Amino acid sequence: MQFHHDYATCQSCAQRFNSVFCKAREEYVDAINEQKICNTYKKGQILFNEGAYPFGVYCINEGKIKLSHQGDDGKEQIIRLLKSGDVLGYRALLSGDRYGASAVALEDTKVCFIPKEIFVTVLKNDTGLAFEMMKLLSDELHKAEVKLTHLAQKPIRERLAETLLFIKETYGFEEDGITLNVRLSREEIANLVGTATESTIRLLSDFKKDGMVELDGKKIKILQHKLLLQTANLQD
Amino acid sequence: MQFHHDYATCQSCAQRFNSVFCKAREEYVDAINEQKICNTYKKGQILFNEGAYPFGVYCINEGKIKLSHQGDDGKEQIIRLLKSGDVLGYRALLSGDRYGASAVALEDTKVCFIPKEIFVTVLKNDTGLAFEMMKLLSDELHKAEVKLTHLAQKPIRERLAETLLFIKETYGFEEDGITLNVRLSREEIANLVGTATESTIRLLSDFKKDGMVELDGKKIKILQHKLLLQTANLQD
DNA sequence: CCACAAACATGATTTTTATCATGTTTAATC
DNA sequence: GATTAAACATGATAAAAATCATGTTTGTGG
């Protein structure tokens, strides 16, 4: 366990209006603030494990987290990438279920834990939050269904291009405006695309040859955004 | 458009306690009952189309419906199978989005349409319903994420076995206790599995040779449930 | 009952993708 | 800064799956 310390208050949190709690009533934000437990996770540390029971939800103050599902043969499938302002752990809580996926920090990450009881109480009393929650769930469901279709119908080349664009959408670029603002291993990218690591490495090399990306270790620079969109068979 | 007629009332509906409305308060069930519009759809008829705007949700009184997503090349991907008591159309409504999928009747189906306004009003005022809704969304999200992982990691043979078991879970058997209680074309099964129609046909033949299933036109009989579970690489 | 289209079936072939094998580079640790 | 494991890279091969081709069956409307 880590040393507990607060990132100021929920009321003044930089992510307050950037999260699902954006429309929560002041009094409830106060209530959550009093019960929250702040924590820091180092890169690679686990927030929770698939199969464990949820005791609350986690709100990311700063950092990046991957949510991954374990396939029957133990192979990782990354199902979501999370960033500052994102909340995680709500799916299992609302289903009354165990966690369906594990959460691992992709870099040093500041997180606030909101205990189940207060979260549910606020959800019961604040219609605005409940609707935001339903919207969040609906959006995630939609994304999952679209991904499902692409996984079933698109070749790997297109899926990789799409994944690179998805990473860009999620984490954006560094100051230079072209380097993806996250470091993922080739294996992690493969587990996001749903393919073998070697295939991902090979195709990234192809993309480089085609001048679409530049590779520098784990740094990936997007050189030809339009061409990548085209390769993914998507319209902007 | 079809002739409008009521299937008795929501209060006395056979599906009332079998749906997401199971915990809705009596007064709200009354309110929904007054606004609902009942309808019958013939096999193959479309309830709504991907890309259209939602004006309410649909509640199935009796029948079967497929929800399918159109891939970029026009190929159908079936993302959900729905039965009596199931509600559809809520995802887009809660996202504030257009429909992400089309709904088509798999057989003659009786459906009640609940206009957006009354649905949202009830959802705002009935915490029990709101929580049931969140649970439904969470459960669907979980299913989608598991399916995603299997689609990415399992070979087609396992996915087909899994799909047959899924169909059985959803629609059950006919009176004989072994025939799947729905008629799907090979193409539809393929679009559920996420594969080519020919591959599905071939593997169904294999399953027949292995004595796992019996095929009689669109009738599929499950002969060896255990073996099918094993083929799907699942534990019961 | 016949005509005809759609669905089903199966073999042959090609394409896609995973796996295996083997180096090379990179990065972490002492 | 040498050691060593992990990650990256790439070629060769095998396996999986899609596509193409061609019949056959089934079901439907006249």
pLDDT tens digits, one per residue of B151-199: 999 999 999 999 999 999 999 999 999 999 999 999 999 999 999 999 9
Cα separation, B233 vs B236, whole angstroms = 10
> Hey, what amino acid is at B119?
F
How far: B108 CA to C2 C1' (Å)? 30
Cα separation, B90 vs A110, whole angstroms = 34
- What pLDDT does B92 receive? 98
**DSSP helix/strand/coil, B211:** coil
ipTM beyond cut 0.90: yes
The parts of chain B modelled with pLDDT lower than 50 are 1-3
Residues in B closer than 8 angstroms to A151, CB to CB, are 148, 151-152, 194
Nearest nucleotide to the CA of B187, by C1', is C7
Cα separation, B133 vs B123, whole angstroms = 9
pLDDT in tens, A100-135: 999 999 999 999 999 999 999 999 999 999 999 999
**DSSP helix/strand/coil, B173:** strand
Cα separation, A179 vs A108, whole angstroms = 19
Nearest CA in chain B to A90: B138
Nearest beta carbon to residue B71 from set A77, A142, A153:
A153
Residues in B closer than 8 angstroms to A123, CB to CB, are 131, 134
- What pLDDT does A6 receive? 55
Give B74: exposed, middle or buried? Use CB within 10 Å, 0-12, 13-18, 19+: exposed
- The answer to whether the CB of A66 falls within 8 A of the CB of A104 is yes
In this prediction the pTM is 0.95
Query: Which DSSP string do the residues of chain A spell out, in sequence order?
Result: -PPP---S-STT-TTGGGSGGGG--HHHHHHHHHH-EEEEE-TT-EEE-TTSPP-EEEEEEES-EEEEEE-TTS-EEEEEEE-TT-EESHHHHHHT---SSEEEESS-EEEEEEEHHHHHHHHHH-HHHHHHHHHHHHHHHHHHHHHHHHHHHS-HHHHHHHHHHHHHHHH-B-TTSSBBSS---HHHHHHHHTS-HHHHHHHHHHHHHTTSEEEETTEEEES-HHHHHHHTT---
Indicate yes or no: strand D within 7 A of the C-beta of A96: no
- The answer to whether the CB of A100 falls within 8 A of the CB of A50 is yes
Nearest nucleotide to the CA of A158, by C1', is C16
Task: At A50, list the tokens.
Answer: 């698939």
CB pairs under 8 A between A and B: 140
CB contact under 8 A, A145 and B94: no
> Hey, what amino acid is at B203?
L
Average pLDDT score over chain B: 94
- What pLDDT does A236 receive? 66
Shortest CA gap A52–chain B (Å): 15
The DSSP letter of residue B179 is: B
Tokens 């409940």 sit on residue: A130
- What pLDDT does B103 receive? 97
Residues in A closer than 8 angstroms to B132, CB to CB, are none
- The answer to whether the CB of B97 falls within 8 A of the CB of B147 is no
The parts of chain A modelled with pLDDT lower than 50 are 1-3
Q: CA angle, corner B105, sides to B207 and B215, nearest 5?
A: 20
Tokens 């919207």 sit on residue: A135
In A, residues 115-134, which contact B (CB 8 Å cutoff)?
A: 123-124, 127, 130-131, 133-134
> Hey, what amino acid is at B144?
A
Nearest beta carbon to residue B151 from set A94, A137, A148:
A148
Cα separation, B213 vs B232, whole angstroms = 14
In B, residues 7-66, which contact A (CB 8 Å cutoff)?
A: none
